[in-house]
Every structure is written in C-alpha cells, then in structure tokens.
Structure 1
Amino acid sequence: MAHFIACGEPSLLPTHIAFLRYVNRTLDSLKHDAAQILANFFCFQPNIDRNGRSFCEEDILSSSAKDLMTAMGSECCLEAQDWSSREKNFGDKECPQAVFNALDTMLKDSLDRLKMMRESISLAKIGLQGYTCNYNYAEHATLIRCLCLEGKLGAGLLLRVKMMQKGFLPDVFTHNHLINGLCKVGLMEKADWLIRDMIELGPSPNRTTYNIFIKGYCLVNNIEKALYLFSTMGNVGIQPNRVTCNTLVHALCKKGLLKEANKLLEEILNDDDEKNLQDLVTSTIFMDGYFKNGSIIRGLSLWDEMLQKGTKVDVVAYNVLIHGLCLSREINLAHGYACQMLKKGLLPDVFTYNTLINALCKEGKINDAIYIFRVMSKMGIMPDQISYKIMIQGSCFNGDVPKARKLLLCMLDNSMVPKPLIWNLIIDCYGRCGDLKRAFCYRDLMLAFGVLPNVYTYNALIHAQVKSGNIYHAYSLKEDMQSKGLYPDVVTYNLLIGAACNLGHLHFALHLHDEMLQRGYEPDMITYTELIRGHCIRGNMNEAEEIFAKMQKCGFLNDHVPVQILFNKYCKLEEPVMAFNLYQEWLTTKHYGRLLHPLQTHCGGGFEAFSCIYVTLEELARRKGANMIS
C-alpha cells in the first residue's frame, strides 16, 4: 500500500484498498512465523515456557498454522490446515521441509496476485493520464486565449512557459493571441521575441502571425519595419493576402504617401486580380486618404468609380465620405449624402450623426446641430458621450450656457455620468460669465456623482476667482488642489502671477515665480509677459528690461504684447528715446524684422500695433520738439 502511494498511483477502489491491507497483514504474518520457525529449527534449544516447562515443536507449528489460516482465509491462500493437522506427523524430521514448501507456495501466489493487480492499475493509469493530458492541454490553451482577450498578458505568457515545461507546446492559434495582445499595447520587442521563439521551438508562424505583427508596427507608427516584414514573408513561403495589403495601404495613407500605397497595392495583388484591383475596404482607405490630404475631387471621383463598378458600399464607406466632406466644409453636400444613405436603406450610425453635429457646431450653426441631435434620438440612435461632448462644447463656445446645462442634466437623466472634460466645460463657462455660485455648484455636483476634479477643473475655478478679483480665494484653491494630490501646472501659476501683478502684489508674484521654478516648470511667454507688466506697474523699468532680455535669449518673441507694454510705459514716463530704441531693437531682431514688416503684417495685429507705435512716437517727438523719425 505504501509503495502504491509513493509511486503516485491514482485513487483506488475500496475493494482494492481492503485487498492490499489484507496482503500486507499476510506478509507480515508470514515473515513473523518464518522467522520463528527458522529460529526453532536451527537453534537446538528446548522450548521452555514461563514456568520452565518445555513444549513440543508440533504445538508451535499447529498454532502458527491456525493463526495463518485465520488471517488469510481460504479464498486467497492454499489450504494450510492440511499441513498443520496432527495427522500429518509434523513431529517427525520431514515436517520443517513441508512447512517451508507451504510458505513458499503461499508467498509466490501472493506476489503473483500483486503483479497482476499492479499491471492492471498501470494500464488504467496510462489511459487516464492520456485523457487528462489532452484535457489539460485544451483547458490551458483556452485559458491563455481568454487571458489575452482580458489584457492579462503576463499571466498568459507564464502559463505558456509552464505548459512547455510539462512538454506541451501551444498551437499557433494560441501564440497568435499572445502576439496580438502584445502588439495592441505596443510591446513590439516582446512580440518579436515570441515570434523568434516560435521559429526556434515551434509552432511555425503563419500568415496570420505576420499580419498581426505588421499591424502592430503600423500602430506604433513604424512603417519601415512593417514594410521590411512584408518583404520577408516570401522568404519563408508565406504569401500576403488582402489583410496584409489593406494594413500597409492604410498605414501609408495615414502618412499621406498615397502614391507609395498605390504601388504597394499593385505589387501585392496578382495579375488575376487586376480587374478587381481594389475591394471595398481598400477603396474606402484610399478615399479617406484623399479627403484627409485635401484632395476632395479625387475622393469623390473614387466614390463615383466604386458606384460605377457596382461595389456594394456600406455604412463605413458612407461615413468616410461624409467625414471627408465635413473636413472640406462641404456640409450641405455631406448632408445630401446622408439623405442618400437613408434612401438606399442604410441606417446611419452614431458616428454619422456625430460627424454632422461636429461640423455644424464648428460653423456656429448650433440650432441645426440641435435639430440633427433630435433626429438622431428619433431614429433610435442613442447619443453617446461624444455626442453630448460635441453639443456641450459647441454651446459653451457660443456662450449658450443654459443649453449646455440642459444637455448635462439630460446626460445624468439617461444614467450617463459625464467625464471630467464635460464638467470642466460647464464650470469654465460659468466662471467666464462671472457666475461663481453656479460654477462651484457644478463642482459639488461633479463630486456627488463620483467624478474627481482634475487640474483643469481647478484652473477653471481659479480663473473664475481671478476674474472676480479674489486673489486670496484663488490661492486657497491652489492649496486645496495640492491637498487632493494634484500639482499645479504652468497655467495655474500664470493665472495667479497675472492676478498678483494686476493688483500690484509684485512680491507675491515673484514668490509664485520662484515656487514655479522649484517645482521644475519652465516659464513660458505668458509668465514673462505678466512679470514685465507687474514691474512696469511698479515703475521697475530696469527689472522689466532684464526680463525682456531673458525672453529674447529664450526665444519668446512671437508676440508683440511685451513690447507694447514696455513701449506704453516709456511713453507714459515721457521717455521717447527709450521707447524708440526699444522699438528699433525689436525691428532689428532677425525674427521680427521678417515677420512684422509693414508689407507682410496685415493680419494678426502686427500692422495695427506698429501703426499705433509710429503715431505715438510722432506725438512724443512733437511734444519734445525733436524730429526722431526719419
């Protein structure tokens, strides 16, 4: 019994267990009796009991035989009572040999029975192990695929290693799931290692493996590596198919390489496919590429070509067409194709409506966008988060805060909790309107629905406080922001520095600037402009000039506002020479000498700014009686 357990035998039936226990007891009894008989046989000492009386060997043999028969039973052993009977004359000198013969016979019979039992159990074990191995292989392979779909790639790779350690190699279908999961998250080095492992150990990669790997490189914008993989497919005897073609063509079109995409298409497809060179997917990809590159005519001509060939266009093709027309601001034409789509029995999806709504909002046609939004709901297409975001954003940009608020409440009624971006739009819109009460009210409502404010939320609230002149409340919001584990950004510091400078609190503005540098943020043009404004308000012209020189070193001269601030301050101080020198230095700057020439600066405010500067300088020169401008 102990031998079976040590060998890892499977569970035995109760009858087997009982039989093994019986055999163990029998063998123990045989060993004990044999040892006693041998001792009596070879040691010629009289048998003496406790009282010193001797008893005969015949009594020992008789009692031992009876005990043996009781332990074994007549079913599983020889009839030992024939040998133990007094009628067999065990007392004579032939008796020991007869006993040994009986013991040998019983022991041999028991060992033969054990051998037969072990062989039968081993055969059963082999069959059970084969079934279990097949079951475990299928179960583990399925589990690896499920883990990959859930994004648990580490667990899937670990299970693959354990399977291989047990001598089971997952099939290529399971390996493709692992490679696809790695490519989706951008772990291309891991995917490359896995494919090399497949080539070395098996199973060999197939066409699907290469298609997944090529798509992964296209997703990480490494089109060169994807093309190299495509060129090596023929070396291993794998022919590319339509999926390979469409993946590479889509990647090239995204980069604007439409000519290269056409050449690649002709290279991949065989001569037999020349009549039907492009299928629906390929034509849709090319049409999308033409529209995104601004070639609206080529895009429409490709659409007409598809219809002439009798290609059955689907909703995706119409969506690409409508989106391309909206990018080209051909909204009326896009709306016409949407109506044509309905006439052909194709129901627009949420992407179709979102495209039209977004184009109308960008054009400022909020009422038309609301009409499309209502038609969308009546057609049974429920608006999603993107639909509401577009509508709320368009309403806020056009200053229609009540409409944006109604849309937000409609989302909440439909059990759609908005993302922080939508909340921030409403809060910022109320803050710009000066309605601090409603801005903080929606911040509290945001928290009530379990949406945590982010840096942009606090920046919107700080901007609202700054606009109302509450610099201390704005600073307390920054402190509250830090207590929530959020760190202020450059926009936060610029808002506070600008508010402090406007109120004349230059020391506080400089303190915020130092704190900004300590946190590792680099000041931008707005930071320097606000500090220049603060120094000019306090009359610290030397410090303002130093900051302006620092801006020049950093390359922040893309705006005329800092120059206008300094110029206006010098004019108020009646320092025309300093004002003219500043103006002349600005003009001689390489960047602005090209950008702000009167013949080139009719847009963006540059020409108007310099016209004012000329007029102001002439007025100052007239006052001083000096002709400063040639």
Structure 2
Amino acid sequence: MLQNFLVPDVLTHNYLVNGFCKSGDLETAKWIIIDMLCRGPSPNCATYNTLMVGYCASNDLDKALDLLSTMSTCAIRPNRVTCNILVHALCNKGLLGEATKLLGEILEDKPESKTANLITSTILMNGYFKNGDISSALAIWEEISKGHRTRDVVAYNVMIHGAGLSLHHSLAYRFVCEMYKKGLMPDVFTYNALLSLLFKEKKTTEACYIHGVMSKMGVPPNIISYRVLIQGLCINGDVDLAKEYLHIMLEDSVLPDIYIWNSLIDGYGRHGDVQQAFYIRDQMVASGIFPNIFTYNALINAIAREGKLVEAHNLKTEMIFHGVYPDVVTYNILIGAACRLRHVHIGLLLHDEMLKKGCHPDIITYTQLLKGFCLIGKVINAEILFDQMISSGLMIDHVPFQIIIKKHWRMGELDKAFENYQIWLRRDK
C-alpha cells in the first residue's frame, strides 16, 4: 500500500494491532500505535482497547491501566468498552475496590446506552460472587433495578451461578422463576448452572430430567452440560447411568473431553470396578484422547485399593514410559497402599524416590507413613516422624494428632497421649 502511495487508514491499523495481539506479539502491536502517533493516522479508542485486551490476556494489568493514562494524554476519551475491559480484568485479579471506582466513573458519565452499564454491572457482580461477597453483588442487582435498566439473560445467569456458588440455592431458584416471569428464556448457561445446583443438592433424578428438557426447549446440551451431568452422577455413585450419557454424547456427535473420561474412570475405580475403569481408558485412547496424570492417578488408586501393589507400581512405570510423570498424589496413593499392607519399608523407599525426583512430600505423605509405623507397632519411629512433622512448618490438621494419641492410648501410655493432646490444643489457638 505504501509503495503505491496509499496510506492505510485507522481501521487497517486496528486490524494489524488486533492480529499481533492475538498472536501474543504485544511489543509489535505497541510499536504500530507509536508509529501511528508519529506518522498517522491517529489511533482511536478502538486501537487502545485492542491493545488493552492483549495486555489483560497476557496477565499484564499494569500496562493495561497505563494505557488508560496514555489515552487521556492523547485526548482520547475512554468509552464503555474500555471500562468493561478493565473492570473485567480487575475483577479477575480480585481487585474489586478498583473495579467499583471504575464503575462509579461510568455511572457519573452521561449515559450512552443502558446495555453498556448493564454489561459493566454484570461483570462486577460476577467478580463479587467469585470473592464470596454476595451482599455487594445483590446491591448492584438492586441498583440496576432502581435505574430502570432491563436485565438480560446474561445478568440472570450470573446471579443464578453466583447464588449457587455461595450456597444460596433458594435464591438461585428464585432468579430462575423471575427469568420466566420477565419473559426471558433460559439458555445453555442457565441450564448448566441449574444442573450444577441440583447435583450439589444430590438431586440426581431432577438433574437428569432438566437435562432431558433442554433439547425439547430448543437448547441442545453442550459439552459443559454433559460434563456437569456425568461428573455429578459419578460423584453421587450412579456411574453406570453416567456411562449411558457418555454413549448419548457419542450418538449426538459431541466428543467427550478428558475431564469426562477421567470422571468415569475415577467413578468406576472408586466403586471397585477396575475392569470397567480400564475399559473406559481404552475407549478414551481409541477416540484420540491420551491419558494424563489424573487418569493414571485414578487407575493407580483403583488398583491400590484392591491391594495390588505390584500392578500399581507397574502402572507407574507405564505412565513414565508414556511421558506422564508421577506427582505428589501418585506417590501418596502408593505410599498409603504400601503402609496399609504393612510394607512401610516400601513407603519409605517411595518417599526417598519422591525427594530424588524433586517431588515435595506433603502432610498426606507423612500422615500415611505415620499410620504405617503405628500399624506395625514401631511407635518410636512414629514419634520421631511426628516430631519432624511438627517442626517442619507444614500445616498439620487433626489427623496426625488423632493417630498418635490413639496409639498411645491403646498402649496404656495415657501421659503421652495427654501430652500430645495438649500440643494439639496449643497449635489450634
């Protein structure tokens, strides 16, 4: 264009800035804007908004906020989109005070459109819910009502989901009813929030009914709907029914993601059907999705629960061969299984292996070893380990104290039991 003496307009430059931002090359995007300031055409609000989105996506909120100052210096007034971008980024960082100040600036401005205010308010409500501040979210909701702004489906979805997260289930159901009264039809996000809510209340029958209603209402379930449904059923013990929904997914040409496969594998493993867990794993691989650390941990846990320690270790070797490396959960499962079978020496070898591999033991690791020592009657070793746990700086819960106190009590060593009880009380203060 330049060779033909054609000067690209601001829209062309904006496309370039957007392209570089999407590819993650923010420095080049910034250079284009500097070049625009030097040689023209002058950047507009959309130009800065695009770079602002890029900075927020790369988790560089400071630079995004600096752009706001740059805009003022260049006499470019931020619009509602600018404020929405920054409010969203601030909420994601948990900086709700700063986000509220920005919202105040928007509401003080001469209103351009009610929808823009609603979008910003919705973003802010979502931020408050995520931080557990339901009262502030409801205050903004009431403010929208007083301002005679029409609430849309997205705003209701935020309230339903947020009320569910805050365990105010009756409030969430109230918002669903209110939606219908206002003539707003639930979308897939509404139904997904409802499904999640019902499973939290262990209402599996109602959740399955809602899932069935979705398609009849012209809202086909998406992968999130199936994920919530299958995970919920597995957690509540209805693994066979969850598997039926997996088949429905495949019939509807909705490809399950790894979270759905892992839920079923873990579900069958926890209910003692190891054969079915491995069958699901094989189905997953056949569909082109390869096992990750969660898959292997679920399978190792299933085998270890049956006391098959050799097979569990073989699976650990297999996962390493496939480029998936054991984490602290893997080692804790294996150490726990070894200690339950009174093979504490194997548990200690695994502990040493963890350290060599750079995998740091946690409180669960040491609690399993403590149980093992108590189980085989090595109380002195248990006491040494217990003292190390206390002095290690790890966050110790009540379980290690209960284990060591119970062991001393069974051995008739009431003074030692009471001494450890006193230590427990002092740590809880």
Distance 2:388 2:189 in 1: 49
Distance 1:275 1:405 in 2: 48
Is 1:372 the counterpart of 2:210? The answer is yes
Is 1:543 the counterpart of 2:381? The answer is yes
Distance 2:310 2:219 in 1: 48
Deviation at 1:549, TM superposition (A): 2.7
Evaluate the alpha carbon distance shift between residue 446 and residue 269 of structure 1 in structure 2; reply closer, same or farther with a 3 A threshold: closer
Residue by residue, what CA displacement relative to the aligned partner does 1:48-73 show, whole Å, maximum 9, x if unpaired? Answer: xxxxxxxxxxxxxxxxxxxxxxxxxx
Q: SS in structure 1 opposite 2:134?
A: coil
CA contact (8 A) 2:96 2:124 kept: yes
Deviation at 1:463, TM superposition (A): 0.9
Evaluate the alpha carbon distance shift between residue 360 and residue 303 of structure 1 in structure 2; reply closer, same or farther with a 3 A threshold: farther
CA contact (8 A) 2:187 2:219 kept: yes
Is 1:217 the counterpart of 2:49? The answer is no
Counterpart selection for 1:304 from 125, 139, 145: 145
Counterpart selection for 2:199 from 361, 368, 374: 361
CA contact (8 A) 2:106 2:117 kept: no
Is 1:512 the counterpart of 2:353? The answer is no
Distance 2:171 2:345 in 1: 59
Distance 2:113 2:254 in 1: 49
Distance 2:269 2:234 in 1: 11
Distance 2:170 2:31 in 1: 52
Is 1:405 the counterpart of 2:243? The answer is yes
| Aligned match of 1:149 | none
Residue by residue, what CA displacement relative to the aligned partner does 1:420-470 show, whole Å, maximum 9, x if unpaired? Answer: 111111111111111122112212222222221111111111111111111
Is 1:429 the counterpart of 2:272? The answer is no
**Aligned-residue CA RMSD (Å):** 3.1
| Aligned match of 1:351 | 189
Distance 1:344 1:433 in 2: 45
Counterpart selection for 1:179 from 14, 17, 23: 17
Evaluate the alpha carbon distance shift between residue 249 and residue 433 of structure 1 in structure 2; reply closer, same or farther with a 3 A threshold: closer
Q: SS in structure 2 opposite 1:233?
A: helix
CA contact (8 A) 2:87 2:103 kept: yes
Residue by residue, what CA displacement relative to the aligned partner does 1:400-430 show, whole Å, maximum 9, x if unpaired? Answer: 1222111111111112221111111111111
- Using the TM superposition, name which of 174-183 and 556-565 deviates more: 174-183
Deviation at 1:473, TM superposition (A): 1.2
| Aligned match of 2:333 | 495
| Aligned match of 2:134 | 294
Is 1:552 the counterpart of 2:385? The answer is no
Residue by residue, what CA displacement relative to the aligned partner does 1:554-593 show, whole Å, maximum 9, x if unpaired? Answer: 22242222233233333344444444444444445xxx14
Evaluate the alpha carbon distance shift between residue 352 and residue 481 of structure 1 in structure 2; reply closer, same or farther with a 3 A threshold: same
Evaluate the alpha carbon distance shift between residue 473 and residue 545 of structure 1 in structure 2; reply closer, same or farther with a 3 A threshold: same
Is 1:460 the counterpart of 2:301? The answer is no
Q: SS in structure 1 opposite 2:266?
A: helix
Distance 1:489 1:455 in 2: 8
| Aligned match of 1:569 | 407
CA contact (8 A) 1:249 1:261 kept: yes
Deviation at 1:254, TM superposition (A): 4.5
- Using the TM superposition, name which of 265-274 and 344-353 deviates more: 265-274
Distance 1:485 1:259 in 2: 44
Q: How does 1:235-254 map to 2 (within 5 A)?
A: 235-254=73-92
CA contact (8 A) 1:269 1:277 kept: no
Q: SS in structure 2 opposite 1:418?
A: coil
Evaluate the alpha carbon distance shift between residue 256 and residue 460 of structure 1 in structure 2; reply closer, same or farther with a 3 A threshold: closer
Evaluate the alpha carbon distance shift between residue 549 and residue 195 of structure 1 in structure 2; reply closer, same or farther with a 3 A threshold: farther
Letter in 2 for 1:301: E
Residue by residue, what CA displacement relative to the aligned partner does 1:303-352 show, whole Å, maximum 9, x if unpaired? Answer: 4225xx3x444332332333334344454554454455456554322111
Evaluate the alpha carbon distance shift between residue 297 and residue 337 of structure 1 in structure 2; reply closer, same or farther with a 3 A threshold: closer
The structure with the largest alpha-carbon Rg is 1
Evaluate the alpha carbon distance shift between residue 465 and residue 268 of structure 1 in structure 2; reply closer, same or farther with a 3 A threshold: closer
CA contact (8 A) 2:83 2:103 kept: yes
Distance 2:308 2:242 in 1: 26
Is 1:483 the counterpart of 2:321? The answer is yes
Q: SS in structure 2 opposite 1:498?
A: helix
Deviation at 1:527, TM superposition (A): 1.0
- Using the TM superposition, name which of 181-190 and 385-394 deviates more: 181-190
CA contact (8 A) 1:233 1:240 kept: yes
CA contact (8 A) 2:153 2:185 kept: yes
Evaluate the alpha carbon distance shift between residue 449 and residue 196 of structure 1 in structure 2; reply closer, same or farther with a 3 A threshold: same
Count of residues in Structure 1 that have an aligned counterpart in Structure 2: 426
Deviation at 1:278, TM superposition (A): 6.4
CA contact (8 A) 1:287 1:303 kept: no
Deviation at 1:522, TM superposition (A): 0.6
Distance 1:376 1:405 in 2: 19
Q: SS in structure 2 opposite 1:437?
A: helix
State the TM-score, normalizing by the size of structure 2.
0.87
CA contact (8 A) 2:118 2:144 kept: no
CA contact (8 A) 1:172 1:204 kept: yes
Evaluate the alpha carbon distance shift between residue 462 and residue 277 of structure 1 in structure 2; reply closer, same or farther with a 3 A threshold: closer
Evaluate the alpha carbon distance shift between residue 274 and residue 574 of structure 1 in structure 2; reply closer, same or farther with a 3 A threshold: same
Distance 2:214 2:114 in 1: 36
Evaluate the alpha carbon distance shift between residue 583 and residue 234 of structure 1 in structure 2; reply closer, same or farther with a 3 A threshold: closer
Deviation at 1:480, TM superposition (A): 1.4
Deviation at 1:538, TM superposition (A): 3.3
CA contact (8 A) 1:240 1:268 kept: no
Distance 1:533 1:336 in 2: 48
Distance 1:247 1:495 in 2: 44
| Aligned match of 1:523 | 361
Distance 2:409 2:98 in 1: 60
- Higher relative CO (Cα under 8 Å, sequence separation at least 6) belongs to 2
Distance 1:269 1:191 in 2: 31
Evaluate the alpha carbon distance shift between residue 277 and residue 514 of structure 1 in structure 2; reply closer, same or farther with a 3 A threshold: closer
State the TM-score, normalizing by the size of structure 1.
0.61
Deviation at 1:171, TM superposition (A): 4.6
Evaluate the alpha carbon distance shift between residue 371 and residue 552 of structure 1 in structure 2; reply closer, same or farther with a 3 A threshold: same
CA contact (8 A) 1:431 1:460 kept: yes
Evaluate the alpha carbon distance shift between residue 280 and residue 530 of structure 1 in structure 2; reply closer, same or farther with a 3 A threshold: closer
Distance 1:425 1:221 in 2: 31
Distance 2:128 2:428 in 1: 38
Residue by residue, what CA displacement relative to the aligned partner does 1:375-405 show, whole Å, maximum 9, x if unpaired? Answer: 1111121111100110111111211122211
Evaluate the alpha carbon distance shift between residue 177 and residue 527 of structure 1 in structure 2; reply closer, same or farther with a 3 A threshold: same
Tell me the percent identity: 52
Q: SS in structure 2 opposite 1:462?
A: helix
| Aligned match of 2:119 | 281
Runs of 5+ consecutive residues of structure 2 not aligned to the other structure: none
